[in-house]
Amino acid sequence: MRVAGICLGASLTACLPLLVATPGCGGAAAPAPVLTVSPAQADFPVGTDTLTLQIRDETADGDSTLTWSLAEDPEVAWLTADTETGEGEGDVTLTVDRTGLDNGTLTTDLSITSSGGSVAVPVEMVVPPGDANVVISSEEVGRDG
């Protein structure tokens, strides 16, 4: 930016400062993106197999571009995401698979790293007791105990 003047009147005694944007003179940069993720925790109680994670740019000014990626920490086989990278705001569908798992509560963190910061989203899945999660092969059907 540089300062110029605008003068009114023939005597040039009434001058007002005027800021003029000049390329290469350190004009204001576009604001950096700011990552927000909702919900802050991904819970999968019994009966819930999918959840939508919303990835947003808090600045949402159109001038900044949020780029992001996500990863499980630690990586687990029972959780999948329909996409692992993106540009701009987006929704990620998380899906859990309880098949063959022992009952109890399983946890991991979903680490989201972006051009607007990083967030860790705790993930918790409840596996119910009982036969609901037992995988029976066709060889075992009809076998005498």
Evaluate whether residue 28 is within a structural domain. Answer: no
pLDDT of 139 reads: 60
Evaluate whether residue 14 is within a structural domain. Answer: no
Dump pLDDT digits (tens) for 86-144: 999 999 999 999 999 999 999 999 999 999 999 999 999 999 997 555 555 556 555 55
Task: Report d(CA 51, CA 25) in Å as an integer.
Answer: 47
Evaluate whether residue 142 is within a structural domain. Answer: no
Sheet-wide strand order for 117-127: 42-44, 117-127, 104-114, 67-73, 85-87
Evaluate whether residue 72 is within a structural domain. Answer: yes
Dump pLDDT digits (tens) for 45-79: 999 999 999 999 988 666 678 999 999 999 999 99
Evaluate whether residue 95 is within a structural domain. Answer: yes
Evaluate whether residue 18 is within a structural domain. Answer: no
Contact criterion met (CB below 8 Å) for 16 and 53? no
What total of structural domains would you count in the chain? Answer: 1
Cα 124 from chain centroid (whole Å): 17
Domain that residue 63 falls in: 35-131
Q: What is the CATH number of the domain that holds 78?
A: 2.60.40.10
Evaluate whether residue 85 is within a structural domain. Answer: yes
What percent of the chain has pLDDT above 90?
61
b vs e for 36-71, b when ≥16 Cβ sit within 10 Å of the residue's Cβ?
Answer: bbeeeebebeeeeeeeebebbbebeeeebebebebe
Evaluate whether residue 3 is within a structural domain. Answer: no
